[in-house]
Amino acid sequence: MWCISHASHKFNSIGSYNSIVMDVIYLKLDIETAVESRLRKIKNEKLRTKMRKIFRDRAFYMLAAFGLVWYFIFKYIPIYGIKYAFTNFGRSFVPQFIGFENFRRFFDTPDFMLAFKNTLAINLLQIAFGFPATIIVALLLNEIQNSKLKRTFQTVICLPHFLSWVIVASIWITILSPSRGLVNAIIEMFGGEAVFFWIKPEWFKPLMVVTNMWKGLGYGTIIYLAAMSRAEKELYDAAIVDGANRLEQCWHITIPAILPVIAIMFILSFDDILDGFEQIFVFMNGANRAAAETIDTYTYKMGIKNMDVGFATAVGLFKNVVGLVMVLTTNFVTKKRTNESLI
């Protein structure tokens, strides 16, 4: 009896499920029919075709809507706060318009100029070493013929990207620790003395480049590997017939295939050339502050710690304007040299 009852219950569940599925299908058909009837009433043929395509791809637009809403809330609404750059907000509970006084203040402040120089130095070094390194690693991964080995290598070098900078800082502080770090253990094994990497200002910028490459190198290769898949296999076959070795194939086929992507990524690399708060903040301490203070950490100190919101907003606005100018300049130069651009 139990078997009969269980089978009957299962049959009823399947029937209910099928009924729900059919109801959803009929509802979908009713909606599509209603929308189509409305679209037919639109006299403009181009508008009707465009609206029909939008309705057809409505699922993709709904997915994109979440990203657009997030971008609007966290990127566009805060633009309203730019007005505080021209006030004494923070020093006064009632903001008063003071013109360009905040801008004159930070240009006359030695700490700001030091932060500006450090920001440019760190980010330019990261671009100079990290950008070509990403391309080289992608080219090396592309040369691996064994697909399982290739996926394994790619997974291993991509994993650090998913770690927060707090965890990355913990790992690298431990590795370079003067008492129990692996690097200093090797130095002492060869008769050297332990190096206090994290309190010596001269080591800070090189270490920022190394940690940034360690964290982002693997993830950056994904875009280039995707671009390399566009290269036509017939070109490689023809090159092999002509006697070209792997290096020549890479130079004459692979690199030209990804050159447009390289140009675009090079332009985008200057988009955040004055950013980098989280990485700098977790590694900065009182001993290395002279080499670690950047525009973002300086803005944090003035705006959050000192509550000089108007001054900090002016610094942030200056940073964004300089970043925009650098992106446009890079875009202009890249377009002249490679005929590829974002604009």
Residues 71 and 98 in one domain: no
State percent of the chain over pLDDT 90. 32
The answer to whether residue 85 sits within a structural domain is no
State how far the Cα of 240 lies from the Cα of 245, in Å rounded to an integer: 7
pLDDT tens, position by position, 148-177 = 898 898 889 999 999 999 999 999 999 999
pLDDT score of 245: 87
Which residue, of 80, 108, 136, is where some domain finishes?
A: 80
- Using CB atoms within 10 Å of the CB of residue 122, give its burial: 0 to 12 exposed, 13 to 18 middle, 19+ buried: buried
Structure tokens at 257: 């295939």
User: Does the pLDDT of residue 25 top 80, yes or no?
Assistant: no
pLDDT tens, position by position, 277-330 = 899 999 999 899 999 999 999 999 998 888 889 999 999 999 888 888 888 888
Residues 131 and 169 in one domain: yes
Which residue, of 50, 80, 110, is where some domain finishes?
A: 80
Residues 115 and 73 in one domain: no
The answer to whether residue 343 sits within a structural domain is no
β-strand partners of 92: 89
User: Does the pLDDT of residue 113 top 80, yes or no?
Assistant: yes
User: What is the total count of domains within the chain?
Assistant: 2
Confidence of residue 229 (pLDDT cuts 50, 70, 90): confident
Q: Which domain holds residue 156?
A: 91-338
The answer to whether residue 86 sits within a structural domain is no
Residues 195 and 331 in one domain: yes
**CATH code assigned at 97:** 1.10.3720.10
Residues 73 and 188 in one domain: no
What mean pLDDT is predicted for residues 213-238? 86
Residues 52 and 143 in one domain: no
Residues 147 and 27 in one domain: no
Angle at 57 between CA 54 and CA 63, to 5 degrees: 110
pLDDT score of 4: 45
User: Does the pLDDT of residue 234 top 90, yes or no?
Assistant: no
The answer to whether residue 290 sits within a structural domain is yes
Residues 226 and 309 in one domain: yes
Which residue, of 37, 54, 80, is where some domain finishes?
A: 80
The answer to whether residue 43 sits within a structural domain is yes
Residues 49 and 154 in one domain: no
Contact 134, 224 (CB under 8 A): yes
β-strand partners of 97: 87
pLDDT score of 118: 93
Map residue 93 onto helix, strand or coil.
coil
Residues 107 and 64 in one domain: no
pLDDT tens, position by position, 96-109 = 898 899 999 888 88
Residues 223 and 298 in one domain: yes
pLDDT score of 274: 83
Element (H, E) at 305: none
Residues 99 and 75 in one domain: no
Confidence of residue 6 (pLDDT cuts 50, 70, 90): very low
State how far the Cα of 121 lies from the Cα of 201, in Å rounded to an integer: 13
> Who has greater pLDDT, 273 or 201?
201
- DSSP track, 173-239: HHHT-TTT-HHHHHHHHTT-----GGG-HHHHHHHHHHHHHHHHHHHHHHHHHHHHTTS-HHHHHHH
What's the mean pLDDT when you consider all of the chain?
84
State how far the Cα of 237 lies from the Cα of 233, in Å rounded to an integer: 6
pLDDT tens, position by position, 189-208 = 898 899 999 999 999 999 99
The pTM for the full model equals 0.78
The answer to whether residue 283 sits within a structural domain is yes
> Who has greater pLDDT, 209 or 144?
209
State how far the Cα of 224 lies from the Cα of 231, in Å rounded to an integer: 11
The answer to whether residue 40 sits within a structural domain is yes
